[in-house]
Structure 1
Amino acid sequence: MSEQSLSVCLAQLNLVVGDIQSNTQKVLASAKQSVEKGVDVVIFPELTLTGYPPEDLLLRPSLKLRVEQALQEIEEAALPITLVIGYPKVTASGLQNMAGVIENGRLVAEYAKQHLPNFQVFDEKRYFIEGTQPCVVQIKGLPVAISICEDIWQKGIMTQAKQAGAKLMLNLNASPFHIDKPLHREALLKERALEGAMPIVYVNLVGGQDELVFDGGSVVVDQQGNVKSRAITYDEAQPVVELAIDDGAVSSIDGKTEPHREKLDSIYSALVLGTKDYVNKNGFKGVVLGLSGGIDSALTLAVAVDALGKERVQAIMMPFKYTSQMSLHDAEDEANRLGVEYKVMPIEPMFDAFMGTLADEFEGTKVDTTEENLQSRCRGVLLMAMSNKKGSLVLTTGNKSEMAVGYATLYGDMAGGYGVLKDVFKTLVFELSKYRNTLGEVIPPRVISRPPSAELAPDQVDEDSLPAYPVLDEILRLYIEEDQSAQAIIAKGFKEDEVNRVIRLVDINEYKRRQAPVGVRLTQRGFGRDRRYPITNGWRAGI
C-alpha cells in the first residue's frame, strides 16, 4: 500500500456552557475553515455542544431536543470533512457522554464514554451511564478509535482499542487545570501510547467556567509517547497536524510544538483567563475592587487589568484612621502604573454613623473584633453599591491562607462576586507578584516587601495573630491538600500549639467559606467543588 497522509485539526475552542446554538456555530465555523485548508478530520472537545461541565442543565427536559437540533444543523451543512464532536445523548441505556463521528454530513458512528469521573470537581455519575464498547472507524483507510477524557486516564482503553484493530486514538477532553497538570497529562499520554502501541491525538477545551479553568494545550504523541505537536495554552487554537499513513498505520507525524510555560507563568495565566471569562461570559461591564495598598489587592488589580484592560477596571481606596500614609501612597502608585480609574472614599463617616446607631447596644462593652469587622463591612457596602449602580462585578481580594483560617469578614471583604485569589496561598501571592513585575513593574516594590497587615487596628500586622506565612501555608497544605492529621503534621517538626490552633481555625470557619464567592481553582483541593465538609460536625483532626 502506498503512503498517504491524514490531515487532522485539533479544534481547541472556548465554549459557553448551555449556549448550544453559539457552540454549534463555532463548530460549523471551525469545520468550514478546515475544509478551506484541505483538512481531513476536525476533532472537538468533550461535550462540545453543551460546554463543560453542564451540571444540572443535563436534567432539563428540553436539552435533548436542543442537542438533536444542533446535530441536525451540523449534518445538514453536509461539509466534505469528518468531524468528531462531543455531546450528551439519551440512549436505550440512559443519558450518555457521547462522541459522534460525522462524515460528509452523515453521522456514521458514536462512542459512549466508559469511565465517568466522580471525584474532586467531577460528578459525572450523577448524570451519565457508562458505555461499554470501543468505537473504531475507518478514516482514509486508517482504523481510528475514539475515547473521551477520563477514559485515557485509566488502563485498558488503549488495549481495548488495539484489540479492536485501531491504529490511532482520538481523545476528546475537558480537562481542567491545576498546578503541574500539563506535565502530568503528557506523562500519562506517554504511558497510554506505549500501552496501545499507537499515537494519540488529545484535544482539550480552553476557557474559564466558574471556578474551573481549562488550559488547552492540546497535544499529539506518537506510539512511543513522544510529543509531536503541542498547542498554545490559555487561548483558542486550531493547529493542524499531518499524519503519514503507511500500510494501514501511522508512520510519522508532522506538527508544530509550542513550549511548556514556566510554572508561575502558567498559574498567573490561569488566574487571568478564569477572571476574564467569568466577567465576560456573565455579561458584566467591568469590575471594581478595594485597593488597600496591600499585596493581595495589588495582585488582584494586576490580574484584572491583564484580563479585561484598564478601561474596565475601577479601584477604590477606602481609608480609615488606621490606614497608613504608606498604604495611601502605594495604592495610588499602583493605580497610576496600571492606568485604572482610581478614587478615594473614606469610611470614617459611615463607621461613626453605625457606631452611633449601635451605641446603646455596645454600652459597657470593650472594643474588640466587632469594630474591626465593621470597618470591613463599611467597605463592602460601598463596593456593592457601586456594583449595583454601574453593573460592575466586585472582585474580592482574599487569599487561600486567609480563607482557610477565617481571617476574613463576612459581608465585608468577602462581599463580592468573584475571588481571584481564592485558591492562592499567601506565599504564592508573593511569588506571583514578583513574577508579574518581571513583565513590567506594576506592583510597587514596597508593597511586596512590607509586612502584610489588614490595618484594622493600630500598628497591626498579620503575624500578630497568625504564624509566619511560610509556616502557616505548609500546615494548611498538609491538612487541606494532603488530609494529614494534627499528629502527622506535628511529627514533621511543627509546633504542637500552632498546628492545633491552625487546624481548629480551618474547621470552625467552614461556614464562612460556604458563603464565599467562587474563584479560580489552582490546586486539587480548592475551597468549593473539591472540598465539601459539613459545617455542623463533631470531627476532630487529632489523629
Structure 2
Amino acid sequence: MASLDILCAQMNTLVGDFDGNTERVIDIVQRACSARPEPVVVFPELTLCGYPPEDLLLRPSVGLRVERALTCLLAELPGEAWVLIGYPRREGRALYNVAGVLHDGRIIAEYRKQLLPNYQVFDEKRYFTPGTEPCVVEIGGVRVGVTICEDIWEPEPAAQSADAGAELLLNLNASPYHRGKRGERWALVRERARQSDLPVVYVNQVGGQDELVFDGGSFAVTADGDIAAAAPNFEEGEYWLSFDAGDRRNPFSGLAIAEPLDELEAVWRALVLGVRDYVNKNGFKGVVLGLSGGIDSALTLAVAVDALGAERVEAVMMPFRYTAQMSVEDAAEQSRVLGVRHSVISIEPIYDSFMAALADEFAGTAVDTTEENLQARCRGVLLMSISNKKRYLVLTTGNKSEMAVGYSTLYGDMAGGFDPIKDVPKTLVYQLSRYRNTLGPCIPQRVIDRPPSAELAPDQKDEDSLPPYDVLDRILELYVEEDMSAEAIIATGIEREAVLRVVRLVDINEYKRRQAPVGVRITKRGFGRDRRYPITSGWRIGE
C-alpha cells in the first residue's frame, strides 16, 4: 500500500516579511529532501505573509509580493518535494485565503478556505471571500484532502473531502493559544476525524505576533479519533510523520505524543515566547522595567529574563517616601539573583519639582489621588527616557485585574511599549510566581507573602480600594470572559455590592484600556482585539 513521509513544519513566521519567510521555506524543504525521498512538507496557514496580516492585506502590492514569492519557490524548491503552503491570492476583486500544493516547479492545486472566523481575535471576513470547493490531490498514490484552520471546526469541509475520495486530510493552521486550547483542539479534531472517517494531520504555526501567541502543538489523529502523534507546544521545529494508507487503525508512525504541559507551565511559556518575539521581531536591544518590590513587577522581570537573558534586561527601582524598605531590599535581591542590571533613582526631587510648578494650580485644593498619580508619572518619565537613550523597550507591569478596573495611572505605570502580564489575573500572578520559583531561585518569598500595595500613600493596601482578588477575579472572569450580566453573576452567590461596583469600574475604564500597551493574550477574551466596547456610552448596569 501507498505511504507518505510528512514533515510538519511548525514555523515561526514574521508578518509582512514575504522574502524572509520564503527563504526559510526553501531552506526547510531543501533539508527535508536531504533527509527523505519525495517528502510531503506541510506549512502553516498564510505562511508567506505571516498570520495575522490584518490590513496589510489591503495594500495594493500584496498581490505582487505573493506572485514574486511563488515564482521564487517554484524555481528554487527541489522538484521531488510536495509542498503545501498558505498565502493570500487575489482573483479579480476577491481575495482568498489559499493553500497551494507545489510540486516539480508547478502549482498542482489550490484550496480556498471556506469557513472564515469572525469572532474573538479573528476578523477574516473583513478581508477574504470564502471558497466553496474541496481540494483532493493524489500524492504518492494517496488521495490527500486539504483544508485550512477553521474548516476543521465544522463538519462540511472535511465531509466534502471525504466525498471527493480523500484518504487523508491535511489541515494548515494559525491557531493562537489560550488556556486550555490544546484540549479543545484535540477534542474537536478527534470528533471531525470520526465524522468524516478520515485521518487528519493538523499543522500549526508557533511564535508571538503582537498580543497573540501561537503554540504549535501540531498533531495527527486516526480515522477512529485516536491521537497518534503530537509535536511539542511552544517550540519551533520540523517534525517527521510517516503515513501508511494500508493501516487503518494506526496509519501514523515516527512521531511520539509530546508530553502535555500543565496549565501553569503552558501559560509561562506563552508569556516568555510572547515577550521574546515582540522584542526581537521589533528590533529592540533589550528591555527596561520599573522594579517596585511588588509581585507584579517581580513576575514581569522573571518573564523578561527567561525570554531574553539577563544581559538584555535592566531593572530600575524608583523609591519615594512611601516606599517600604523591604521593597527596596527585595527588588535589589531579585535583580542580584537573576543577574540583571539594577539601578536606583529616587523620584523625590522630581516629584517635589513638579509639585512646586503646580503650586498655583493646586492652591486651595485637598490632597487626593492626583498626588498619587504624579508619583507614578514621575516613574514613567524616567523609564521612557532610559528607553529612548538605550533603545530598550519599556515593559509595563499591570495585570488583568488592574487593567479591568482602572487601578493604574495613565502616563504613569501604564507608560511603556509592552505588558507581558496584561491578560494575567492577579490570582494567577501569584500562582505563576510560585511556579517560577520551582524552576530556580527567582522571586523573594517575602514579595509573594506580603499584602499587595501600590505604595503611593502611607500604609496603602490594594484591598483598601478593591475587593479581595479572589472575588475580583471571579467577577471579572464571568463578566469579561463569559459575558454574564451583573444579575447573573450575583445569582452565582457573589455579594451584590461587590458585583455592581466591579462591573461599573470595568465599564467606565474603557478609555484607559484603549491607551494601554499591547500584551500577551492567554485567556479566551483579553482586552484589546478580543473585546471592543465603546468609550462614550449611555449603557448602564441592569439595562
- TM-score band, normalised by shorter chain: over 0.9
Counterpart residue number, 1:323 = 323
> Partners of 1:463 and 1:140 in 2: how far apart?
65
> Partners of 1:225 and 1:205 in 2: how far apart?
22
Give the drift of 1:103: 1.0
Give the drift of 1:245: 2.4
Counterpart residue number, 2:508 = 508
Which amino acid in the other structure matches residue 398 of structure 1? G
SS in 2 for 1:404: helix
Quick check: 1:168–1:250 contact (8 Å CA) kept in 2? Answer: no
Q: Summarize deviations over 1:351-401 as a string: whole Å, max 9, x none.
A: 000000000111111110000000000000000000000000000000000
> Partners of 1:93 and 1:76 in 2: how far apart?
28
Counterpart residue number, 2:87 = 87
Counterpart residue number, 2:41 = 42
> Partners of 2:303 and 2:279 in 1: how far apart?
12
> Partners of 2:336 and 2:129 in 1: how far apart?
55
Q: Does 1:10 align with 2:13?
A: no
Counterpart residue number, 2:438 = 438
Quick check: 1:167–1:250 contact (8 Å CA) kept in 2? Answer: no
Give the drift of 1:78: 4.5
> Partners of 1:41 and 1:104 in 2: how far apart?
12
SS in 2 for 1:137: strand
Q: Does 1:185 align with 2:172?
A: no
> Partners of 1:246 and 1:291 in 2: how far apart?
60
Q: Summarize deviations over 1:411-439 as a string: whole Å, max 9, x none.
A: 00000000111000000000000000010
> Partners of 2:476 and 2:77 in 1: how far apart?
55
Aligned residues: 540
Which amino acid in the other structure matches residue 537 of structure 1? S
What TM-score do you get using the length of structure 2 for normalisation?
0.98
Quick check: 2:2–2:141 contact (8 Å CA) kept in 1? Answer: no
Distance change (3 Å), C-alpha of 1:78 and 1:318: closer
Counterpart residue number, 1:195 = 195
Quick check: 1:177–1:522 contact (8 Å CA) kept in 2? Answer: yes
Give the drift of 1:224: 1.2
SS in 1 for 2:395: strand
Alignment of 1:201-220 (within 5 A): 201-220=201-220
Counterpart residue number, 1:100 = 100
Alignment of 1:231-242 (within 5 A): 231-242=231-242
Q: Summarize deviations over 1:95-141 as a string: whole Å, max 9, x none.
A: 00000000122110000000000111000000000000000000111
Report the identity percentage: 61
Quick check: 1:88–1:97 contact (8 Å CA) kept in 2? Answer: yes
> Partners of 2:246 and 2:490 in 1: how far apart?
61
Quick check: 1:401–1:425 contact (8 Å CA) kept in 2? Answer: yes
Counterpart residue number, 1:52 = 51
Quick check: 2:229–2:258 contact (8 Å CA) kept in 1? Answer: yes
Which amino acid in the other structure matches residue 21 of structure 1? D
> Partners of 1:373 and 1:364 in 2: how far apart?
19
Quick check: 2:292–2:331 contact (8 Å CA) kept in 1? Answer: yes
Q: Does 1:116 align with 2:103?
A: no
Which amino acid in the other structure matches residue 276 of structure 1? R
Counterpart residue number, 1:141 = 141
Give the drift of 1:262: 0.6
Alignment of 1:26-425 (within 5 A): 26-39=24-37, 40-79=39-78, 80-92=80-92, 94-246=94-246, 252-254=251-253, 255-425=255-425
Give the drift of 1:441: 2.1
What TM-score do you get using the length of structure 1 for normalisation?
0.98
SS in 1 for 2:251: strand
Q: Which 10-residue stretch deviates more, 18-27 or 37-46?
A: 37-46
Which amino acid in the other structure matches residue 45 of structure 1? P
Which amino acid in the other structure matches residue 511 of structure 2? Y
Give the drift of 1:85: 0.4
Q: Summarize deviations over 1:263-305 as a string: whole Å, max 9, x none.
A: 0000010000000000000000000000000000000000000
Give the drift of 1:250: 8.5
Q: Which 10-residue stretch deviates more, 486-495 or 68-77?
A: 486-495
Quick check: 1:41–1:81 contact (8 Å CA) kept in 2? Answer: yes
Quick check: 1:243–1:250 contact (8 Å CA) kept in 2? Answer: no
Quick check: 2:228–2:250 contact (8 Å CA) kept in 1? Answer: no
Quick check: 1:372–1:456 contact (8 Å CA) kept in 2? Answer: yes
SS in 2 for 1:333: helix
Quick check: 1:481–1:525 contact (8 Å CA) kept in 2? Answer: yes
> Partners of 2:418 and 2:174 in 1: how far apart?
22
Which amino acid in the other structure matches residue 488 of structure 1? A
Q: Summarize deviations over 1:170-201 as a string: whole Å, max 9, x none.
A: 00000000000011000111001101111101
Q: Once superposed, which parts of structure 1, at least 4 consecutive aligned residues long, lie more than 6 Å away?
A: none
> Partners of 1:299 and 1:87 in 2: how far apart?
38
Quick check: 2:224–2:249 contact (8 Å CA) kept in 1? Answer: no
> Partners of 2:28 and 2:97 in 1: how far apart?
22
